[in-house]
Chains A and B, each alone.
Chain A
Amino acid sequence: MRLLYFAWLKTELGTSAEEIEPPAEVRDVRGLIAWLKGRDTKFAKAFSDESAIRVAVNQDYARPGDPVDAGDEVAFFPPVTGG
């Protein structure tokens, strides 16, 4: 699974992309975030306010209950500020 981070999430985590192999019990967006928060304090802090984070799975906006699979591209970012 490929993870991408944008804007302040990228800055706080110090990375823009990584390849991960989450455990089998990670089946949806909610589970993936819970697993990421358990990795270390940096991730726990960055994901502490989940309402401040948007998620896209394979470049479409996703909700907490949406499934994630091994081959997916999952992106995390704050609410957008273009235009």
Chain B
Amino acid sequence: MIRVQREDFDPGQEIAALTAGNHAVGGLAVFVGLVRDLASEGGLKAMTLEHYPGMTEKMLTSIEAEARARWPLEESLVIHRYGRLEPGDRIVLVATASAHRQAAFEACQFLIDWLKTKAPFWKLEETSEGAHWVEARAGDDEAAQRWRETDKAAE
């Protein structure tokens, strides 16, 4: 399941709901991304996440389908927020549940790595010096590259 929303989410409630009643699940991996002060000098006041409604959902759905094709997942959930967020706020949640831990860990990492290079979101940072668009990091491309083997969507 994927969700794109302005509101915050409660990771505990989300993962409890995700696996409720599914006793085939033996392992659940969760990643939660938070707003970090990229300026790392306490200069970040807020950031606004812009996205491309429609394409965002399409990309997240396709990334999730790819994860489920590659690993034997019982359940999966991606929640990504948009709008104005402050340092410490939750931005994204990726949860993957499987019979065993390895599939859950790998699929979770795959989902966040791919999401960061494919889902159409952009961060506008507000600092005391004004607002600027965050540039993409080469390290994110490299992280996604590891999973590339059958990566048609990235071509």
Contacts and interface: CB of A to CB of B under 8 A. Distances in A.
9 contacts: A7-B133, A75-B52, A75-B55, A78-B133, A81-B116, A81-B122, A82-B51, A82-B91, A83-B91
Q: What does DSSP make chain B's interface, helix, strand, loop or mixed?
A: mixed
Interface in B101-146: 112, 115-124, 133-137, 140
A78 B153 contact: no
B58 A6 contact: no
Interface residues of B, number: 31
Interface of A: 4, 6-8, 11, 56, 59-61, 63, 75, 77-83
A78 B80 CA distance: 19
Interface string B36-47: 000000000000
Nearest to A11: B133
B92 interface: yes
A6 B136 contact: no
Interface string B75-94: 00000100000000001100
Given A56-B120, A75-B52, A83 B92 contact: yes
Given A80-B119, A82-B123, A83-B119, A7 B50 contact: yes
Contacts of A4: 52
Nearest to A16: B50
A81 B47 CA distance: 12
Contact of A82 (B58, B92, B133, B135): B92
B49 interface: yes
B120 A77 contact: yes
A41 B154 CA distance: 31
Given A8-B133, A80-B118, A83-B116, A59 B123 contact: no
Identify the interface centre among B117, B133, B154: most chain A CB within 10 Å of its CB.
B133
Contacts of A60: 55, 58
A8 B154 CA distance: 22
Contacts of B26: none
B72 interface: no
B119 A6 contact: no
A81 B48 CA distance: 11
